[in-house]
Structure 1
């Protein structure tokens, strides 16, 4: 069983494959259907940043942006792929940011630090 688990590896090429790590409803990248789903989209970054609460991004901020992105994708992406795997990947974006960048500040990220990131 351990050998089978160790066979499940990822590499940097996986970042470019749709629905491996890259997924629809990303916080900062367009859905696969709309073309370039690898380049950070400045409009989506701005949309994320305006969800701040008292110049901090927290779990409520991420919840708001997630629903905005999900509803937009659901409305405009006819091939939206958002099953359990994509939901977990999507949640992982927020969790990673809150725990890594916001880990020392009660799981909040100062908006200026997030802009730098």
Structure 2
């Protein structure tokens, strides 16, 4: 199991089975103030804006993260605990027992180039929502219901753009695992993790406002979200991101081997 997917889920509707029939979460929302920390992950920022994590973005402990992810999204405790283990590496202190959203901004630790909604670190801020970048990404979302292929297309496009214009572009195999998890996150949180589909309006609302789409009718899943759900969706995105299509020869070769 690729645990490096997990933290990325921390970077959406009644039309989808298993979502829209769950519990209503807190509608309270308050944007970050001038003294509050925020990071490159839209979901972590969103949970802080709603108060599921400390609103100031500081002192995020294991207990705080486990409770926040459960109350907001119904993530199970073991999954949330694994996420904490990955997130705490952003704190440079030895044997740290907490991290802050600001620490997640450290370039190429967990944050990386080619984000769907942030500019690369080379161009300035790597953690503030960038509408121009996001418009580039959602140009590939060509229907009201997003599919793994659409989300994968936006991922590939952002990588090409970053590689072409950022002279310090860096995207390692580890980064790829985080990136796949980030692309899968809206499906897992707001859509259908079996089909890999999610309502585009909810995803756009989430990214642009760093706010759970409660007022659009979304409710958290009644079923607890576990590691298997994450792996299933990230594998969908990974498969959809391939630019190689099966050939007739390869299909015939498979039949012959069978």
TM-score, shorter chain, exceeding 0.5: yes
Q: Distance in 2 between matches of 1:64 and 1:8?
A: 27
Equivalent runs, 1:1-117 vs 2, <5 Å: 10=88, 11=99, 12-103=101-192, 106-117=195-206
Cα distance, 1:14 vs. partner?
3.1
Higher mean alpha-carbon deviation, 18-27 vs 50-59, is at: 50-59
Larger Rg: 2
Question: Contact 1:24–1:82 at 8 Å: present in 2 too?
Answer: yes
Unaligned 5+ runs, structure 1: none
Describe the SS at the equivalent of 1:106. Answer: coil
Secondary structure, aligned partner of 1:54: coil
Report the Cα offset of residue 69 of structure 1. Answer: 0.7
Higher relative contact order (CA 8 A, sep 6+): 2
Instruction: Report deviation, 1:47.
Output: 2.3
The RMSD of aligned alpha carbons is: 2.3
Q: Which runs of 4+ in 1 moved over 3 A?
A: 5-9
User: What does the per-residue CA deviation read over 1:9-41, in whole Å, with 9 as the maximum and x for residues that have no partner?
Assistant: 522233111112211011111111111111111
Relative distance call for 1:94 and 1:8 in structure 2 (3 A) is: closer
**Pair 90,9 (structure 1): closer, same or farther in 2 beyond 3 Å:** closer
Q: For structure 2, list consecutive stretches of 5 or more residues without a partner in the other structure.
A: 1-81, 89-98, 207-258
1:62 to 1:88, Cα distance in 2 relative to 1, 3 A? same
* Residue correspondences, number: 113
The CA distance in 2 between the partners of 1:39 and 1:8, in whole Å, is: 22
Shift of 1:105: 7.6
Distance 1:8 1:49 in 2: 28
Q: CA deviation at 1:107?
A: 2.1
